[in-house]
Amino acid sequence: MALVFRTVAQLAGISLSLLGWVLSCLTNYLPHWKNLNLELNEMENWTMGLWQTCVIQEEVGTQCKDFDSFLALPAELRISRILMFLSNGLGFLGLLLSGFGLDCLKVGERQQDLKKRLLILGGILFWTSGITVLVPVSWVAHTTVQEFWDETVPEIVPRWEFGEALFVGWFAGFFLLLGGFLLNCAACSSQAPLASGHYVVAEMRDHCQKLEMKSTHLKI
């Protein structure tokens, strides 16, 4: 039973982490961190991301312009760029290490201690990646709220609001944290005492084959 939990937790953890990493990459490049709707011209909407600003017009379509200078950006956008790049890199490294640590992978199947260390390290990298996604997304959201309710700005001045990329980033951070937690739980779960290392490998293969058969039947 413990071995079944390990296998299921590993597959669920790596799947959630992969999903979180993909979403974090999308968050990094989507130009929808902030949205601006003009009341005077409802046919024109503005969006701002970490790399460019876009204007959406019904007649013309979408036109985007990259930021001219990195140093001219607000502090939250400059630091968000760095943290998002760091998150993407840590998530990719976590996928590589935890992938080699999966029980269902035949590579290094007789070195269970090494696989356990790889899973734990991969889980820690996913946690770090999730945090480095949540920090810039939450920071930009906080500054957006502050600017929206700034009483010193006249009411007639348009104000930026939350963009879709912020919500994608929150989901990405949550999936990365949850995936890393499941991988660490799987790595730290106690194994039932078995007769020999060969028996451990054989039983792991059986569980992996059963999971593959079940997923094949579900697809059919």
Q: Which has the closest alpha carbon to 74: 171, 146, 2, 125?
A: 146
CB contact set of 168 (below 8 Å; sequence gap of 6+): 23, 26, 27, 30
pLDDT digits (tens, 9 = 90+) for 106-155: 665 667 788 888 999 999 999 999 999 999 999 999 999 998 888 888 87
Its CATH architecture, for the domain 2-34+74-211, is: Up-down Bundle (1.20)
Q: pLDDT tens-digit profile of 22-46?
A: 999 999 999 999 998 876 666 788 9
68-103 pLDDT, tens per residue? Answer: 888 888 899 999 999 999 999 999 999 999 988 887
Average pLDDT over residues 38-65: 83
Q: Give the model's confidence band at 201: pLDDT under 50 very low, under 70 low, under 90 confident, else very high.
A: very low
Q: Does the global pTM surpass 0.85?
A: no
Nearest to 177 by CA among 67, 24, 50: 24
d(CA 49, CA 87): 17
Q: What are phi and psi of 56, to 5 degrees?
A: -115, 115
Strands (E) located in the chain: 34-37, 44-48, 52-57, 61-66, 161-162
CA distances from 198 to 112, 114, 201 (A): 11, 16, 5
Handedness of CA 97, 101, 104, 110 (dihedral sign): positive
Name residues whose C-beta falls within 8 Å of residue 132's C-beta, 6 or more positions apart in sequence: 83, 84, 86, 87, 90
**What pLDDT does residue 80 have?**
95
Q: What's the mean per-residue pLDDT of the chain? A: 83
Q: Which residues contact 27 (CB under 8 A, 6 or more apart)?
A: 84, 133, 137, 165, 168, 169, 172
Amino acid at position 187, single letter: A
What's the half-sphere exposure (Cβ side, CA atoms, 13 Å) at 211? 18
Domain edges within the chain: 2-34+74-211
pLDDT the model gives residue 110? 64
The pLDDT of residue 115 is 84
Residue-wise pLDDT for 166-177, tens only, equals 999 999 999 999
Q: Which backbone phi and psi does 62 adopt, to 5 degrees?
A: -105, 130
